[in-house]
């Protein structure tokens, strides 16, 4: 269990480091837990979207993964450097045995990160969840006179608590994780997060609101192109052409609530309603058993590569996000729903604050009470009888994503945050309410 032992009072000094003040940011070193091509997941896809868009905009982004990755997940032949779509990805791979988690591990991480920083000479360190990444970046940044941005993509302790009723807020792990995350937020020169709900949580912890900025999830160019033909997509997964197809693409964890979706389909006395579930995870076997009585009305496609997601989205009429109410889901938005919207698919989501913020009910889709199969069945029935509304909401969603939620657009927002962090720009606007009202 790693605590924030390396955080010292020197890390809480506000303002940019004097050695970089007034110098524009060109080379950015992103400090992350894991990355493509070894781990395809929402976390790594966001990193990839950010750095490829920064590279396209003329910046020089680099990525460094946690100490020992990806050898620590079994990729024994990993090299110390790999290019992913032109962006250098560095691996901190000790020649000797990796220290056990704890202070020695963190000190080795700091030493290796510092050596890499000397080699590539970045203008700014951009650490991304979790706090261990931020700890290493903050120690190196303060020692070397570099500003540090911490991107809070989730709340480690709340995600942990959301994965089991026995995981309590009064546990040592919860308390220590929360303390470490909050300390890193307070120590960073700027904090980036994904949604207004998350920003409000960070500010409630006593972090200076002037330095907390929202850069929402977005999509890359591949997702703004028209989807493949619906007919071929349905034939590929065994769905009839005349069906009304609801579906989701997700990791099958309990808090994703896919069992609510299966139960809702069972309540609908309509053989034309079908459900497509794409993804794998700890709940997959239980969900398959739950869906057995529905026969061919529920299709499980299993895990698919990220490049194949759009082929499956093309088969859908409505994308579904049936998340349960948990400490994490009431704060953190998913990425996959944006990818569906970019393809012109309306979204039916649980009535949770970050999803309401994303879906804007009536504009890009609808919401239903979480954990309530009856409410979901009613919402699905209403949408199924309004195909013209589905098309309108989907077209509206696709246009909005293309204009406001691309990584190319996000680069400008990051530029504002970086300029403020190094002391050459004003505070970027932090009024996310006004951002939502403008539709951006």
* 48-68 residue pLDDT tens: 999 999 999 999 999 999 999
Q: How many other β-carbons are positioned within 10 Å of the β-carbon of residue 335?
A: 18
Distance CA 105, CA 271 (A): 57
Asked whether residue 383 carries a pLDDT value surpassing 70, the answer given is yes
Residue 72 CB coordination number (10 Å):
14
15-39 residue pLDDT tens:
444 344 557 899 999 999 999 999 9
Residue 359 has phi, psi (to 5 degrees) of: -80, -30
- How much is the average pLDDT of 122-144? 97
Instruction: Tell me the mean pLDDT in the region 318-322.
Output: 98
pLDDT at res. 425: 67
pLDDT tens digits, one per residue of 69-85:
999 999 999 999 999 99
Per-residue pLDDT reduced to its tens digit, 176-190: 999 999 999 999 999
Instruction: Calculate the average pLDDT of the chain.
Output: 91
pTM, whole model, 2 decimals? 0.89
pLDDT, position 299: 98
Give the count of alpha carbons within 13 A of 89, CB side only: 24
Task: Kindly list the structural domains of the chain, giving each domain's residue range(s) and its CATH number in brackets, ordered by start.
Answer: 9-218+409-435 (3.40.50.2000), 222-403 (3.40.50.2000)
d(CA 342, CA 276): 19
295: alpha, beta or left? (left if phi > 0; alpha if psi -120 to 50): left
- pLDDT at site 15: 41
Confidence of residue 97 (pLDDT cuts 50, 70, 90): confident
Which residues, other chains included, contact 42 with Cβ-Cβ below 8 Å and sequence gap of 6+?
334, 335, 336
Is there a contact between 192 and 149 (Cβ–Cβ < 8 Å)? yes
At 436, the pLDDT band (50, 70, 90 cuts) reads very low
Residue 366 scores a pLDDT above 80: yes
111 pLDDT more than 80: yes
- Taking the CA atoms of residue 246, residue 248, residue 253 and residue 257 in that order, the dihedral angle to the nearest 10 degrees is -30
pLDDT on residue 100: 86
pLDDT tens column, 270-315: 999 999 999 999 999 999 999 999 999 999 999 999 889 999 999 9
Neighbours of 225 (CB within 10 A): 11
- The mean pLDDT of 243-261, rounded to a whole number, is 96
Strand 244-249 to 212-214 pairing: unpaired
């Amino acid at each position: 269990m790693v605590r924030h032992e390396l955080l010292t009072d020197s890390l809480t000094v506000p303002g940019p480091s004097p050695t970089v003040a007034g110098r524009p940011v060109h080379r950015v070193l992103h400090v992350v837990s894991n990355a493509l091509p070894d781990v395809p997941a929402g976390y790594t896809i966001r990193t990839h979207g950010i750095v490829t868009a920064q590279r396209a905009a003329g910046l020089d982004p680099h990525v460094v993964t946690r100490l020992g990755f990806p050898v620590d997940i079994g990729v024994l032949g990993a090299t110390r450097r790999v290019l992913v779509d032109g962006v250098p990805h560095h691996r901190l791979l000790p020649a000797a045995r990796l220290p056990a988690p704890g202070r020695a591990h963190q000190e080795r991480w700091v030493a290796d990160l510092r050596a890499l920083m000397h080699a590539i000479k970045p203008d700014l360190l951009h650490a991304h969840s979790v706090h261990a990444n931020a700890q290493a970046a903050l120690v190196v940044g303060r020692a070397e006179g570099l500003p540090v941005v911490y991107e809070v993509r989730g709340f480690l302790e709340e995600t942990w608590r959301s994965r089991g009723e026995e995981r309590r807020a009064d546990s040592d792990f919860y308390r220590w994780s929360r303390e470490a995350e909050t300390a890193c937020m307070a120590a960073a020169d700027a904090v980036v997060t994904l949604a207004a709900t998350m920003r409000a949580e960070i500010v409630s912890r006593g972090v200076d609101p002037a330095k907390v900025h929202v850069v929402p999830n977005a999509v890359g160019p591949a997702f703004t192109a028209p989807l493949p033909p619906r007919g071929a997509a349905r034939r590929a997964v065994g769905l009839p052409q005349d069906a009304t197809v609801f579906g989701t693409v997700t990791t099958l964890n309990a808090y994703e609530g896919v069992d609510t979706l299966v139960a809702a389909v069972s309540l609908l006395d309509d053989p034309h309603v079908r459900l497509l579930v794409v993804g794998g995870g700890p709940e997959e076997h239980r969900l398959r058993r739950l869906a057995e009585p529905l026969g061919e009305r529920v299709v499980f496609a299993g895990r698919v590569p990220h490049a194949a997601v759009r082929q499956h989205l093309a088969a859908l009429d409505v994308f579904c996000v049936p998340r349960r109410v948990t400490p994490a889901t009431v704060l953190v938005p998913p990425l996959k729903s944006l990818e569906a919207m970019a393809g012109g698919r309306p979204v039916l989501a649980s009535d949770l604050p970050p999803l309401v913020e994303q879906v804007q009910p009536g504009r890009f889709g609808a919401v239903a009470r979480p954990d309530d199969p009856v409410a979901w069945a009613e919402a699905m029935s209403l949408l199924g009888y309004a195909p013209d509304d589905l098309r309108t909401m989907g077209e509206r969603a696709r246009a909005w994503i293309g204009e406001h939620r691309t990584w190319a657009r996000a680069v400008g927002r990051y530029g504002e945050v970086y300029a403020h962090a190094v002391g050459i720009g004003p505070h970027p606007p932090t009024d996310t309410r006004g951002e939502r009202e403008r539709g951006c």
